[in-house]
Amino acid sequence: MSAQAAFSTEERQEQGPRLTLVPPLRSTVSTVGFALIIMALVAVGMGLVMVVTTSVAAQSKELSGLRTEATLLEYRTASLTTELQTTSATGRLATRAADLGMVPNPYPAFIRLSDGKILGEPTPVRGNEVPYLRQHELTPPTAPRIRVLAGQDDAAAPTPTLPMAPGVDQ
């Protein structure tokens, strides 16, 4: 206690400013205002979430629509591909060629490009040289068949079983 008393005023001044109580801060936003800000933030957040959700839903719907469209186009492509393959089948082309008056030429002849020499004997044809190609009914390629079962029993047609060749282990 005696030591404390020994401090002079000068010494006190050298130690720093004198401590005083900080006056209470005056809040710039009232409690109600703060609540309103929070509510506004929540509202904005929820709005954003709603926008994002709506956007995702809309995009999802659009994606679903595009998927459906792609699937339909795939189906159409597959159908047209099958039609093209069937139309360009060898038997059909041969029939169409014959209908157009084209005839096969059984006499071979080649032109050798290196010297222009003709190999073989070019021979005109009348159209009856290869009778076997038109002699038999040309089996038209089968168009894909729809198996309509309406009004029938749902028993599938039995698949024939293959016979075993004598002495053959299949």
Partner 1 sequence: MVVMALLVAVCVGRAFQLQAIDAQAFAAEASSKMQSTRELPATRGTITDRNGVVLAATEPAMRITVDPDMVASNGADKRYPMNDKKQLDAKAAPGAVARILAKHLGGQPTDYLKVLQKKKKDSKEYSRYEIVAKQVPASVWSEIQADMRKGIDADGKRPLYGLFAASDPMRTYPNGRLASNVLGFVNAEGKGVAGLEGVLEDDLDGEPGQSIYDSSRYGRIPLGTNVLTPPIDGVSYETTLDSDLQWLSEQALADGMATSGAKTGIAIVLNVKNGQILALANGPSFDPSELAGVDAGDLGNRAVTDAYEPGSVQKVLTIAALADAGLVTGDTEVVVPPQIASGGGFVRDAFSHGTINLTTRGIIAQSSNIGTIDLARRMPKDKLSQYLKDFGLGSKPNSGLPGETSGSVPGGDMADYTRDQISFGQGLSVSAVQMSAAVASVVNGGVYHQPTILKSATRADGTPVELPQPVERRVVSEKASAVTLDVMEAVIAQMGNGKRTIPGYRTAGKSGTSQRFDPKCKCYNGYTASFVGVAPAEDPQLLVYVVLDQPKNGNLGSQLALPVVNNILQAALPRYNVLPSTTPAPERPLTFD
Q: Which two tokens stand for residue 64?
A: 């679903």
Per-residue string for binding with partner 1, 148-167, x by CB under 8 A?
A: xxxx--x-xx-xxxxx-xxx
Using rule CB under 8 A, residue 107 touches partner 1 = yes
Cβ-contact 88, 82 below 8 angstroms = no
Using rule CB under 8 A, residue 98 touches partner 1 = no
Using rule CB under 8 A, residue 2 touches partner 1 = no
Using rule CB under 8 A, residue 142 touches partner 1 = yes
d(CA 148, CA 67): 29
Q: How many CB atoms lie within 10 A of CB 1?
A: 5
Report CA dihedral (95, 98, 99, 102) to the nearest 10 degrees: 150
- The binding site for partner 1 (CB under 8 A) comprises 56-57, 59-60, 64, 72, 74-76, 78-79, 81-82, 85-86, 88-91, 94, 104, 106-110, 119-121, 123, 130-133, 135-136, 138-142, 144-151, 154, 156-157, 159-163, 165-168, 170
